[in-house]
Chains A and B, each alone.
Chain A
């Protein structure tokens, strides 16, 4: 996790630097165009360079090996304006079958850790059951008779035996059922969803598969009679097979576990994943939230699930204005290239 944290940070720093450079560039350009100076062509880059901040924690250019810097430079040089490509795979073979274009507003949002944090906290708050309940002195069962005379015993004055100071008495400021739920603006939460998906996409950890994602078991297992796979043989087989699938595809525990998201329960996939919870989990769309998207090493989902997720979470992109009895449908989700 620490590695990922550092990765996030450096990515965010990279984005900051890039945007700072851009701002510098545009500002100066505007300034000079107003001056209408002919020699302004060369100037922007040099001035923009002076504007970039040098971080104290930043590694010097020489220490980064050539390939790494090449790779990050390549990715940073790419600023898609309208769409990003998304490959659809077959499951479980992971054979690429088609290509789609998705809007940058859906799958290429910049990383906003603050928004993600708000969303995860919001979800956590609303998941708390808040059922802890303790008894006050007025709730504790028993008589409220005075347990000893007020005076003359030489001991402390005491009223009823429900006194919080006594054993078996009530709890003074104990927990009582309450709602821990907090609120988050719909548009912020929706943006967090798409930010989480974008983060996964950018890191290459989002794998989208064709609809009807289901684990195909070996023929021998499918054909075997129910009574031949009793006494835990079925479960042991599923566990071993699922592990081999995950290891082959680079989705297992060694690669940080995997979350499979489908439209509904898929018997083979779900029951196999239930045997190996340490290798990952399988959830249907209704059970997934932002935290789940961020937890595991990789996220594998159906195309229709991604589409549904985006459609449910784009309130900040769709104007809530009705024109001619029709509401705007927003940016189309996924256009097929081939």
Chain B
């Protein structure tokens, strides 16, 4: 039973048949020119009941190449073998192994065929163990999706806005007495509308007593309604400017909201889902309020090199006799600084000497002798 993974697979099958312009394989007799005494048309009309397929005289004329070039039956190409639901998860597998057309056959079929004479002219087909590295073979069906957001959020403002959303959602569930049952369930990531609704809810209160002001029930309904169909929508993105604008309106006291085990668990779960930042248990245990949760979430970006780290320190940069360079200061840098490098470069060029390096000549042999290398 021939297997037809995909149309894509069929394309690669053609590639595998080692010809830049693939041709249908002909029967052996077709490539021979036969001299027959009997008129060919009569013979054909006797052989076929209806009008005979192919050219008038198949022994002397070449058949015109048919369009979907494949050695598979036509109906197999035109009708997709699998319904869309199957095609969604089906892997794209390599085509079956086929025998390449020989050079003789190719030459007989295609008058324009010329064999490759250099390596570059040959078509390159990667090995099977590289099959999945080709982007057309690794699609959505093979992608892994975890619970947390795949790209970790690093911007503080956005993290804070998402934390606010998580806190509002958790508190609204608590207010409606639905937190305990929703705790172990997966909440939908929600549309843009859900995000805006959650952020529109105000947190008011003082001295540890906080309450929500706004459309709490709709926030709760957003969290509970889609609980069945999960993972379809992706969370809406907020830009940095938007987040900063939203953040300005808040009363900073909201960070004083005290948290218990349940709310901490729910907030941690939601933050991980929305921002991809997972707070370790030991740090979450130490957190008592939202401010502490935010403190554990904010990460400082590590300086990528020493210079960056030093430049960030005012006690180093402010010193009058200290300069921080981004890389090692070499002899050329020193010449550039005093303005002599241009002259040196010009003079070297005038004499036809290499500006840098030794230009195919061996290096300083004497230095090697002295350092004991040679």
Q: How far is the CA of A94 from the CA of B282 in the complex (A)?
A: 17
* A77 and B91 contact, Cβ closer than 8 Å, known pairs A96-B269, A218-B142: no
CB–CB B94/A233 < 8 A: yes
Chain A 206-238 against B: per-residue CB contact (8 Å), 1 yes, 0 no?
000000000000111101100011011101110
Residue A173, interface by CB 8 Å? no
CB–CB A95/B128 < 8 A: no
CB–CB A338/B262 < 8 A: yes
CB–CB A85/B285 < 8 A: yes
Chain A residues with CB below 8 A from B147, complex form: 90, 93-96
Chain A residues with CB below 8 A from B285, complex form: 78, 80, 84-85
Task: Indicate which residue in A71, A94, A205, A240 contacts B146 across the interface (CB closer than 8 Å).
Answer: A94
A99: shortest Cβ distance to chain B, in Å? 5
Chain A residues with CB below 8 A from B296, complex form: 71, 74
Residue A249, interface by CB 8 Å? yes
Chain B residues with CB below 8 A from A204, complex form: 278-283
Residue A65, interface by CB 8 Å? yes
Q: How far is the CA of A63 from the CA of B147 in the complex (A)?
A: 38
CB–CB A92/B132 < 8 A: no
CB–CB B89/A220 < 8 A: yes
CB–CB A248/B282 < 8 A: no
A252: shortest Cβ distance to chain B, in Å? 12
CB–CB A84/B91 < 8 A: no
| Nearest CB in chain B to that of A100: its residue | B281
| Nearest CB in chain A to that of B97: its residue | A231
CB–CB B89/A218 < 8 A: yes
Number of A-B contacts (CB under 8 A): 139
CB–CB A240/B141 < 8 A: no
Of the candidate stretches B57-65, B180-188, B347-355, the one touching chain A is B180-188
Chain B residues with CB below 8 A from A205, complex form: 280
Residue A97, interface by CB 8 Å? yes
A203: shortest Cβ distance to chain B, in Å? 7
Chain A: residues with Cβ within 8 Å of the partner, total of 53
Chain A residues with CB below 8 A from B145, complex form: 93, 248
* A233 and B93 contact, Cβ closer than 8 Å, known pairs A67-B300, A94-B278, A97-B184: yes
Task: Indicate which residue in B144, B279, B284, B292 contacts A241 across the interface (CB closer than 8 Å).
Answer: B144
B294: shortest Cβ distance to chain A, in Å? 10
CB–CB A95/B269 < 8 A: yes
CB–CB A245/B144 < 8 A: yes
Q: How far is the CA of A96 from the CA of B183 in the complex (A)?
A: 9
Most buried by B among A205, A218, A223: A218
The 8 closest A-B pairs by CB, nearest first: A204-B280, A78-B286, A95-B147, A220-B91, A219-B89, A93-B147, A96-B269, A232-B129
Complex A-B: 28 CB contacts under 8 Å: A71-B295, A84-B281, A93-B146, A94-B147, A94-B278, A95-B147, A202-B282, A203-B280, A204-B280, A205-B280, A218-B91, A218-B141, A219-B89, A223-B89, A231-B128, A232-B129, A233-B131, A236-B128, A236-B129, A237-B132, A240-B132, A240-B133, A241-B144, A244-B143, A249-B148, A337-B261, A338-B262, A338-B265
| Known interface pairs A204-B278, A338-B183; 4 further A-B residue pairs with C-beta atoms within 8 A, sorted by A's residue number | A75-B282, A223-B90, A240-B133, A240-B138
B interface list, Cβ under 8 A from A: 3, 89-91, 93-94, 128-133, 138, 141-148, 150, 152, 180, 183-184, 186, 261-262, 264-265, 268-269, 272, 278-287, 292, 295-296, 298, 300, 313, 315
